[in-house]
């Protein structure tokens, strides 16, 4: 009986984790999106540090900037910047892209 209760609890924790991850966007979908849209200027792969456009930071560097948060990325990506094209990212794309960038953070 105890064992069954433990399994039930573990399942619940797993389900809660999956739901949370979804809320913060889909890392894989974000990767697909940035490869398509952002890669002409930014190094988007975890191991890449040199961006095609020299003054665009690699996404790994962005992710590892101290204090980098979902909020900071949301602000950056929803306000105009002279050095970057203005993107209108749909809400879901925005979440996915941010989830992908933050996944490059080294723990
Ligand atoms: C035409 C080239 C170009 C494209 C395409 C582009 N960027 Fe940028 N991006 C830049 C440049 C240049 C900078 C540096 C701007 C600065 O510091 O003023 C920058 C800066 C950034 C920063 C801020 C980094 C920091 O230090 O805070 C983020 C985040 C970012 N880009 C995300 C994206 C995302 C996500 C995409 C795709 C949806 C994208 N960029 C597409 C050129 C580009």
Domain spans of the chain, in order of start: 26-103
Alpha-carbon torsion, ordered 73, 85, 48, 68, to 10 deg: -10
Q: Could you tell me the distance, in angstroms and rounded to a whole number, from the CA of residue 76 to the centre of ligand 1? A: 9
Say yes or no: CB of residue 102 within 6 Å of ligand 1.
no
Please tell me the predicted confidence (pLDDT) of residue 80.
86
Say yes or no: CB of residue 35 within 6 Å of ligand 1.
no
How far is 25 from 94, CA to CA, in rounded Å?
Answer: 8
Say yes or no: CB of residue 55 within 6 Å of ligand 1.
yes
Structure token pair of residue 51:
């961006």
Say yes or no: CB of residue 66 within 6 Å of ligand 1.
no
Please tell me the predicted confidence (pLDDT) of residue 102.
96
Average pLDDT over residues 71-93: 88
Residues 87-99 have pLDDT tens digits of 888 889 999 999 9
Say yes or no: CB of residue 43 within 6 Å of ligand 1.
no
Please tell me the predicted confidence (pLDDT) of residue 84.
82
Residues 90 and 30: beta-carbon distance below 8 Å:
no
Average pLDDT over residues 68-88: 89
Q: Could you tell me the distance, in angstroms and rounded to a whole number, from the CA of residue 57 to the centre of ligand 1? A: 7
> b/e map of 21-38 (b: 16 or more CB within 10 Å)?
eeeebbbebbbebbeebb
Beta bridge mates, 58: none
Please tell me the predicted confidence (pLDDT) of residue 22.
46
pTM reported for the whole predicted model: 0.81
The CATH class of 26-103 is mainly alpha
Q: Which band of pLDDT confidence, cut at 50, 70 and 90, is reported for residue 36?
A: very high
Average pLDDT over residues 51-79: 94
């Amino acid at each position: 009986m105890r064992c069954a209760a433990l399994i039930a609890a573990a399942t619940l924790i797993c389900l809660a984790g999956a739901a949370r991850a979804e809320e913060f966007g889909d890392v894989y979908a974000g990767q697909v999106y940035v490869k398509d849209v952002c890669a002409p200027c930014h190094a988007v792969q975890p191991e890449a540090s040199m961006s095609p456009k020299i003054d665009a930071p690699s996404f790994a560097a962005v992710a590892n900037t101290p204090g980098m948060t979902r909020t900071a990325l949301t602000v950056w990506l929803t306000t105009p910047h002279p050095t970057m094209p203005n993107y209108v990212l749909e809400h879901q794309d925005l979440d996915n892209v941010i989830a992908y960038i933050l996944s490059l953070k080294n723990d």
